[in-house]
Amino acid sequence: MEKLWSGRFQAQSEDWVNSFGASIPFDYQLAHEDIAGSIAHVTMLATCGIIANDEKEQIITGLESIDQQIAEGQFDFTLAHEDIHLNIEKALHDQIGPVAGKLHTARSRNDQVATDMHLYLKQQVGMIIEKLNNLQQVLVNKASQHVETLMPGYTHLQHAQPISFGHHLLAYYSMLSRDQARLTESLKRIDISPLGCAALAGTTFPIDRQQTADLLGFSAIYDNSLDGVSDRDFIIEFLSNSALIMMHLSRLCEELILWSSFEFQFIEMADQYATGSSIMPQKKNPDYAELIRGKTGRVYGNLFGLLTVLKGTPLTYNKDLQEDKEGMFDAVKTVSVSLDVMAGMIDSMAVNVETMEHSTEKDFSNATELADYLANHGIPFREAHEIVGKLVYSCIQQGIFLQDVSLSDYQAISPVIKADIYDVLASRTAMNRRNSYGGTGSQQVKDSIKRAQAALAK
């Protein structure tokens, strides 16, 4: 089958070579954007007097018909036409005849594909922002149910200090807020039109690039035609932002996996977000959390793959840039589904409140309370720290905890210690005394939830 660009060529590649070079197996996903860009382009060509109005109408009618066929699954994408642009152009030629050839006036596939990807990412980033908002709302809702739920806070995966479970969940709300802010900021660089840059140097036709940008809803146009056709920074930025999102989700998944284990028993995943074993009847595995954790590496790979592709490509377009799409499509799908699954897991998980609270009572996470108590009674903190450290060691030797030490033994350590020490050592007291801004005290957590709800309402 003769290709639309075959005029200069005397021989055709074999099918397996054509298959290697074709991008239609994945860039068919740009069909709607490609048609939208073509409609804007042909409208501009008519406005500028480059083609006749009746030719414009024929082309637009044909493109709209093809768009409908694709939407209904009735369009036959073929490897013979190698990419989405030529597949649509060939179908348009078959439908309306030679006038279809005027569509490509003052345009190259180089600025055409770049336009498609800008349009695609603009829409997909908006969708991902909405999914981030949804997950944030789920986290805030769950946090509001567990303001008073005690759990151990960890450093080095060792019990550190008692905290509110709601406070812990809100840490992920904050991470996702930064993710959302980065994506929103990136839209400034996605929302730029390269259409009209042509192959690399612009065009001799009297086109109006601002008109096509306006028709497509772009807020700006590329100032330099070379940059317009070769820039893929906006995709790298998206992949980088996606990697950060997945890293945050993976951290939370790691905690869900730990918390749902027999050793922790802090939570239980809903049945629809767990699987069983083919040999061990008792198993309930957190597979979906593990999948998100695993797919994080996949998104990292997409980022490093494109960075590597671009590091050695001279200006302007090179066939290497065909490798910009699969990773982008994959990251969009992976991040989107992961956000949905995570929202479902958090919303449906059962929290074992008593187990969490009990775990803060049979440990030494209240040791800092005793050190602070001594410091508040005039003992230098470093001295207080050493006193408590030695007492913790003594308790470990005896198989008891700080709240089990008798008052007489406490007063033998320091006469400043009074009977109120037992209230100070209580986990809930320890949590609520941390009432500094952003701390784990109940009132601070409630205030954080109010701020989060107000932000989400915007």
The pLDDT score that the predictor gives to residue 80 is: 87
Burial of 302 (0-12, 13-18, 19+ CB in 10 A): buried
| Helix extents (H) in 48-193 | 53-71, 84-96, 109-145, 165-190
* Residue type, position 440, single letter: T
156 is a catalytic site residue: yes
Q: Beta strand 158-164 with 192-193: parallel, antiparallel or unpaired?
A: unpaired
The pLDDT score that the predictor gives to residue 6 is: 62
The pLDDT score that the predictor gives to residue 340 is: 98
Can you tell me the distance from the alpha carbon of 130 to that of 203, in angstroms, rounded to the nearest whole number?
A: 39
From 140, 162, 98, select the one nearest 439 (Cα to Cα): 162
Active-site residue, from 6, 219, 277, 394: 277
Q: What is residue 149's three-state secondary structure?
A: coil
Q: Which pTM value belongs to this model?
A: 0.93
Can you tell me the distance from the alpha carbon of 367 to that of 363, in angstroms, rounded to the nearest whole number?
A: 9
Active-site residue, from 156, 278, 406, 408: 156
168 is a catalytic site residue: no
Q: Domains in the chain and their CATH numbers?
A: 16-105 (1.10.275.10), 110-147+160-204+219-254+287-346 (1.20.200.10), 359-457 (1.10.40.30)
The pLDDT score that the predictor gives to residue 350 is: 98
From 236, 248, 253, select the one nearest 177 (Cα to Cα): 248
Q: What share of the chain is helix, strand, coil (3-state, %, to 5)?
A: 70, 5, 25
| Helix extents (H) in 9-48 | 15-21, 24-27, 31-47
Can you tell me the distance from the alpha carbon of 356 to that of 151, in angstroms, rounded to the nearest whole number?
A: 5
Number of neighbouring beta carbons within 10 Å of residue 434: 19
Residue 366 contacts residue 162 (beta carbons within 8 Å): yes
Can you tell me the distance from the alpha carbon of 202 to that of 111, in angstroms, rounded to the nearest whole number?
A: 10
pLDDT tens for the chain, 458 residues: list them. 455 556 665 667 667 666 777 889 999 999 999 999 999 999 999 999 999 999 999 999 999 999 999 999 999 999 989 999 999 999 999 999 999 999 999 999 999 999 999 999 999 999 999 999 999 999 999 999 999 999 999 999 999 999 999 999 999 999 999 999 999 999 999 999 999 999 999 999 999 999 999 999 999 999 999 999 999 999 999 999 999 999 999 999 999 999 999 999 999 999 999 999 999 999 999 999 999 999 999 999 999 999 999 999 999 999 999 999 999 999 999 999 999 999 999 999 999 999 999 999 989 999 999 999 999 999 999 999 999 999 999 999 999 999 999 999 999 999 999 999 999 999 999 999 999 999 999 999 999 999 999 999 98
For the chain, the first-to-last Cα distance in angstroms comes to: 55
The pLDDT score that the predictor gives to residue 4 is: 57
Residue with tokens 């922002």: 129
